[in-house]
Homo-oligomer: A and B are copies of this chain.
């Protein structure tokens, strides 16, 4: 369906222009003042048009545990999370819908779902998420979360001798699942991509990483992983490899210009230059990094070193919302306390570029989305600047990034298809979703995690508490 957005504000250099934007066959066909009307007219007056943002790292099914997780660091938090992970496909479906809706209504048109797989139902889990994202119409990058070591292996041993149960599934069987998923679901031109996505060095063998590299090369898949989220993982890498995790990942060939790495907090200067050199992308998840006490990722250093950086919400169990504008705001201003010289700070315009083009680069799709350029796919978001939360009128992008916008996404398109209209997702029944989420849950307070009880003493010891 073709359309023309009329009299809309767009950002150029350090100013704004009022223009018309023509979209033909799902692509941006023209941007200029006073264009002829092609297709449907969309009133852009008092609105701002931006490229859709990319929610570049999340775990959709964590939505079932938001608000309830203990105030723990990652290692204990993960133990609690796994004790209460939802297993049924109905929940997988509903939380994927919920994640898509929250991403869309905060300016995101793409989501990278580092998807937790239900044991024994791995392909069905992926199929369920694919179904949800196709129904909503959001551009989906499904990164099935895999590992081949059991949870306790993710904690440094320190001076103790630790024995870990073998993981319940072989490395080969895991790789077969991913290859089957690629064959069944990887349809980039239809808006659904599969990524290879070992969870990270803390729970994955070299064999698993190598198998993922092989799949990535054979099927042209982007690569994803967590990287050095905690100080414990920094210690673990030294125990496991005798070098940093980044050095090891470079050595085995996992880093590339289509590799995106979530968190990247505990990197040294050499590690940073390796990321720059390999053109890897950092996905910044500021809120989850604060909630889990993981630390502040050295984002200003990354930008200065020329490393591509984008934003993710992370799963709702570690950042209990999926609001990209919140992640962009906090992920920008947080770093002002890490460098006294304000000339290095992230401006709102820079943050918008990181959230859109930065995200696209990390997924190796910057030639297709991420900016308002002619010929690119129309993944677009139209913001209503008359909303109380964006008033009084000043700098639209400043208000959007530094304020706390509420109900401001007027319209959103993916591949030129409109999926948000008047601040409502129009492809699914959101009120029905709301009722289903309500029905499948109950109010709770603190829960008792058996896994946490098992590992807490060792964790406190090895972390010197």
Contacts and interface: CB of A to CB of B under 8 A. Distances in A.
Interface in A262-296: 287, 289-296
Contact of A14 (B390, B403, B445): B445
Q: How large is the interface on A (under 10, 10 to 19, 20 to 34, 35 or more residues)?
A: 35 or more
Interface centre among A71, A326, A392, A394 (most CB of B within 10 A): A392
| Copies of this protein, total | 2
Nearest to A387: B434
Contacts of A65: 394
Given A66-B394, A290-B333, A393-B442, A347 B16 contact: no
Contacts of A345: 71, 293
Interface string A337-377: 10111110111100000000000000000000000000000
Contacts of A67: 390, 394-396, 398-400, 402-403
A72 interface: yes
Nearest to A349: B445
Contacts of A159: none
Interface in A196-221: none
A465 to B, nearest CB: 5
A123 interface: no
Interface centre among A340, A396, A440 (most CB of B within 10 A): A340
Given A321-B389, A340-B231, A394-B67, A445 B333 contact: no
A93 interface: no
Interface in A410-457: 430, 433-434, 437-438, 440-446
A398 B388 CA distance: 27
Interface in A1-49: 9, 14-16
A404 interface: yes
A165 to B, nearest CB: 26
Contact of A341 (B389, B404, B444, B465): B465
A448 to B, nearest CB: 12
Interface string A311-336: 00000100111010010001001101
Contacts of A98: 388, 391
Interface centre among A16, A76, A336, A442 (most CB of B within 10 A): A336
Contact of A406 (B292, B333, B406, B465): B406
Given A287-B333, A345-B293, A386-B438, A14 B394 contact: no
21 contacts: A66-B394, A67-B402, A68-B394, A68-B395, A69-B398, A71-B336, A71-B342, A71-B347, A101-B388, A290-B336, A293-B336, A296-B337, A319-B402, A323-B404, A330-B330, A340-B463, A388-B437, A391-B434, A392-B437, A393-B442, A394-B444
